[in-house]
């Protein structure tokens, strides 16, 4: 029964439930069915798949739908769903675009953005100092937005400040499923870790725009499909499907703290810290010219089943990822002799910068397995700007505020070695008896230094071999060890225990760093 003022709880709650039911229908049965027919989850299904609980904010915000002539057709829920969630028991800010409403276009029709570039979900992560997880599936820009506003607008009016501010405060993880175009693609990339399903696409502008601008007809997957975006490094990892992508988000989050004012959680470990990695003697060939799988070296040393590779499809001469040693989360890098002989090219250097920045931001010690013959040389490497990116890789190590334990596995030649440790900070360089190092590899170095003498000799091949033998006697790693030119020589099988002891001792220094964050 209504009160004299016309209010009744029964009517109010009935209206409330009608609106809630409408909001949860997303863009309606037809659009949701199309999403499902394409093999993709809806935004609400993605949220349910990753979280144990979800407290939605802005559920009743709506978008006024109009036809091409501007006639009002009715209302739909807004194109963004966001709120506070629990993921593996941790509070996170969680949001994502709803492609069934206006193809996930920005919410310029609202008084306040819910998510995307800026918006409530990013403010929530900033104010509460909790990780931000975002599902990206949107067209980025929308010509119809000017009708919402009643005028055109400069995209430079859209603030990126909060989005980039968050990168120095909390973990920001993104997943692309479906299409991520323009601003949506940019938001996916502006993260600490990104993953996309193999049937998704990501690009600055889609095929229609490419056709109009360049006169090129191209398929959307050829332009920016998952394999393309992950091979270029625009997105870190490729996933089989949405379940795999969600599992990767959860895995990466497990290595990171809630924010930069906390240390990452050290977990219990049933892998003995003194386990001898005897398999390393089989993994590293006695033939110095023979390649091996860098990932096998990493897995032999870190806690069993703890290595998570990041960026396996790009910058392939360097393997990077996250792992644990004695339960401590760490960042891991390893030269990959199976690609370019392990030489660092521009892509590998950029890949190193990305991981080192992640480790410095979130207090993850670094373990670096070195087998690098130098920076990549040749016309293609120079055109790719290997020197500028190589120096940036060196800078990433110099500016790192976390311990870096370097293992000299085999080769360590040239300027690229400066990108593996910093002599001005108390890191640790460990050498295996298989290690070799110097300004240049002997073969190329002899040719460069003694070319005239070799060419002038009666037997150039014999002369070259004689010089190489003499130089090889000087690169005995024990000479460097005896001169304390490397901190310690160890049996490879002892690597796990030695590294763990130093990383364990570093935890106090890392705790001090959390108190120094702005």
Q: Biggest alpha carbon distance in the chain? A: 116
Confidence label for 68 from pLDDT (cuts 50, 70 and 90): low
For residue 109, the 8-state DSSP code is T
**Who's near 108: CB < 8 A, 6+ residues apart?**
142, 145, 148, 149
Q: Contact, 321 vs 365, CB < 8 A? A: no
Average pLDDT, the chain: 89
Mean pLDDT to the nearest integer, 186-192: 95
The predicted model scores a pTM of 0.90
Whether the per-residue pLDDT at 288 is higher than 80: the answer is: yes
Q: In sequence order, what are the residues at sequence separation of 6 or more whose Cβ sits closer than 8 angstroms to the Cβ of residue 103?
A: 79, 138, 139, 142, 179
Contact 182, 205 (CB under 8 A): yes
Dihedral sign, CA of 395, 399, 402, 405? positive
pLDDT of residue 326: 97
d(CA 418, CA 158): 40
Question: Is residue 169 scored above 90 in pLDDT?
Answer: yes
What are the structural domains of the chain? 9-255 (3.90.226.10), 280-438+476-513 (3.90.226.10)
With a cut of 70, say whether residue 445 has pLDDT above it. Answer: no
> pLDDT tens, 125-146?
999 999 999 999 888 665 555 5
Question: Residue 333: which of 304, 372, 358, 298 has the closest Cα?
Answer: 298
Tell me: pLDDT of 48 over 70.
Answer: yes
Residue 154 has pLDDT above 70, yes or no: no
Say whether pLDDT at 397 is over 90.
yes
User: Phi and psi of 395, rounded to 5°?
Assistant: -60, -35
Residue 38 burial (10 A CB sphere; 0-12, 13-18, 19+): exposed
pLDDT digits (tens, 9 = 90+) for 207-232: 988 999 999 999 999 999 999 999 99
């Amino acid at each position: 029964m209504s009160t004299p003022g016309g209010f009744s709880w029964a009517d109010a709650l009935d209206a409330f439930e009608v609106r809630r039911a409408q909001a949860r229908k997303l863009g309606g049965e037809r659009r949701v069915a199309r999403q499902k027919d394409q093999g993709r989850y809806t935004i609400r299904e993605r949220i349910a798949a990753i979280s144990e609980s979800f407290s939605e904010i802005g559920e009743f915000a709506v978008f006024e739908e109009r036809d091409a002539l501007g006639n009002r057709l009715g209302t739909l829920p807004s194109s963004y769903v966001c709120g506070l969630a629990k993921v593996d028991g941790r509070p996170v800010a969680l949001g994502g675009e709803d492609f069934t409403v206006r193809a996930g276009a920005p919410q310029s029709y609202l008084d306040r953005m819910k998510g995307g570039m800026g918006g409530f979900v990013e403010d929530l992560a900033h104010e509460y100092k909790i990780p931000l997880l975002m599902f990206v599936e949107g067209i980025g820009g929308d010509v119809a937005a000017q009708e919402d506003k009643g005028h055109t607008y400069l995209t430079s009016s859209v603030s990126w400040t909060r989005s980039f501010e968050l990168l120095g405060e909390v973990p920001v993880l993104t997943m692309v499923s479906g299409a991520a175009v323009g601003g949506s693609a940019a938001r996916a990339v502006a993260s600490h870790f990104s993953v996309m399903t193999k049937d998704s696409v990501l690009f600055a502008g889609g095929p229609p725009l490419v056709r109009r601008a360049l006169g090129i007809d191209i398929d959307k997957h050829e332009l920016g499909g998952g394999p393309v975006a992950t091979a270029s490094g625009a997105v870190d990892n490729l996933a089989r499907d949405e379940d795999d992508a969600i599992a990767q988000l959860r895995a990466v989050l497990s290595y990171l703290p809630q924010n930069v004012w906390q240390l990452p959680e050290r977990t219990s470990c049933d892998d003995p810290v003194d386990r001898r990695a005897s398999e390393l003697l089989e993994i590293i060939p006695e033939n110095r010219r023979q390649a091996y799988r860098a990932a096998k070296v990493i897995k032999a040393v870190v806690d069993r089943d703890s290595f998570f590779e990041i960026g396996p499809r790009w910058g392939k001469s360097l393997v990077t990822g996250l792992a644990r040693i004695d339960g401590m989360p760490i960042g891991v890098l390893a030269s990959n002799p199976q690609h370019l002989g392990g030489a660092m090219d521009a892509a590998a250097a950029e890949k190193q910068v990305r991981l080192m920045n992640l480790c410095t931001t979130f207090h993850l010690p670094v373990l670096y397995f070195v087998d690098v013959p130098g920076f990549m040389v040749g016309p293609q490497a120079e055109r790719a700007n290997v020197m500028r990116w190589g120096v940036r890789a060196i800078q990433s190590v110099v500016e790192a505020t976390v311990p870096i334990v370097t293992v000299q596995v085999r080769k360590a030649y040239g300027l690229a070695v400066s990108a593996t440790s910093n002599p001005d900070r108390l890191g640790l360089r460990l050498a295996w008896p298989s290690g070799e190092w110097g300004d240049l590899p002997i073969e190329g170095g002899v040719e460069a230094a003694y070319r005239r003498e070799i060419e002038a000799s009666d037997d150039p091949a014999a002369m070259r071999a004689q010089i190489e033998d003499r130089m090889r006697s000087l690169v005995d790693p024990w000479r460097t060890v005896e001169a304390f030119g490397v901190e310690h020589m160890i049996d490879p099988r002892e690597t796990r225990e030695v590294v763990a002891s130093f990383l364990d001792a570093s935890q106090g220094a890392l705790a001090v760093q959390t108190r120094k964050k702005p």
